[in-house]
Amino acid sequence: MEYLIHLAILIAIYVPLAISLNLVVGYTGLLSVTHAAFYGVGAYATTLLMVNLGWHFIPALIIAMIITGILAAIFGIILSRFRDDYYALVSFGFNIIVYSILLNWESLTRGPLGIPGIPRPEIFGYTFSTNLSFLLLALVLALIVYLFSSGVVKSSFGRVLKGIREDEKVLNVFGYNTPRFKLVIFSLTAMMAALAGGLFATYITFIDPSTFSLNESIFILAIIILGGLSNIRGSVVGAIFLILLPEILRFVGFPTDIAAQMRQVVYGALLVFLMLYRPQGLMGEYKL
């Protein structure tokens, strides 16, 4: 039972990550490969405020989200100078920069040693010390992100985002300040990623830079491509699928000496097959 709860918590953490990235990539059409950087900033900011300053979870998480949002706004201004492939490459570079800072700023982050002993969340005197109680907290926060994001995409703001994806020049002709819209959604989604980072840090109670590398950004991107671009529910489905698939493959009767390698082969082959025959993902309304 604890094993299933653990998987459910991981899904609840990755759902906000996937939904928030989908708002940038799927709805706005901006190929960002830097989401793990904001995920990491949120995790480290929450951790440092709780461990070093003794803050409670909620205020630490809120400040971590604000810090991440400000950082995303600064980077978003720089990123707005680029388009298409160059946009992806610059976002790629930003992820590497953040990862390098987390790895080498040892006086603050402890570098590759990581930060242990992160306390579990405490709200109104109640500590979410058991995995079941933590799952309930994670589900509530994931639901808030889901409902907020659904409201965004159904609003006039969301329609502008889709317009940017389809033809940004036309919106500029009609007087829309598209760089401002892109900056706002980029900062908002970074704050959602920071929320997931705070949840992850307080669940595992240990963080180190390896969790927030470029590979993690690619994994989150794979979730939304698989589940479906420009579809909030697709983000949820993709998170469930990619979290559970490797675990399901553990129970396939591969020979023990090649079991790990075969799981990776099957896992990769399924993704390639899906991208060939369903490039917009399982529930997607748009494809890159």
Q: Where along the chain do its domains lie? A: 2-213
pLDDT score recorded for residue 116:
95
Position with higher pLDDT, 189 vs 173: 189
Single-letter code of the amino acid located at 279:
P
How far, CA to CA in Å, does 98 sit from each of 75, 88, 101, 191? 11, 16, 5, 16
pLDDT tens readout for residues 181-209: 999 999 999 999 999 999 999 999 999 99
CA separation for the pair 152, 58 (Å, rounded): 24
Closest-CA residue to 43 (of 98, 124, 106): 98
Closest-CA residue to 8 (of 96, 125, 118, 138): 138
Is it the case that residue 98 has pLDDT exceeding 80? Answer: yes
CA separation for the pair 45, 67 (Å, rounded): 8
- 274: helix, coil or strand? helix
Model pTM score: 0.92
pLDDT score recorded for residue 253:
64
48: number of Cβ within 10 Å: 18
Q: H or E stretch including 122?
A: strand 122-123
By 3-state DSSP, what share of the chain in percent is helix, strand and coil, each rounded to 5? 75, 5, 20
Confidence of residue 288 (pLDDT cuts 50, 70, 90): low
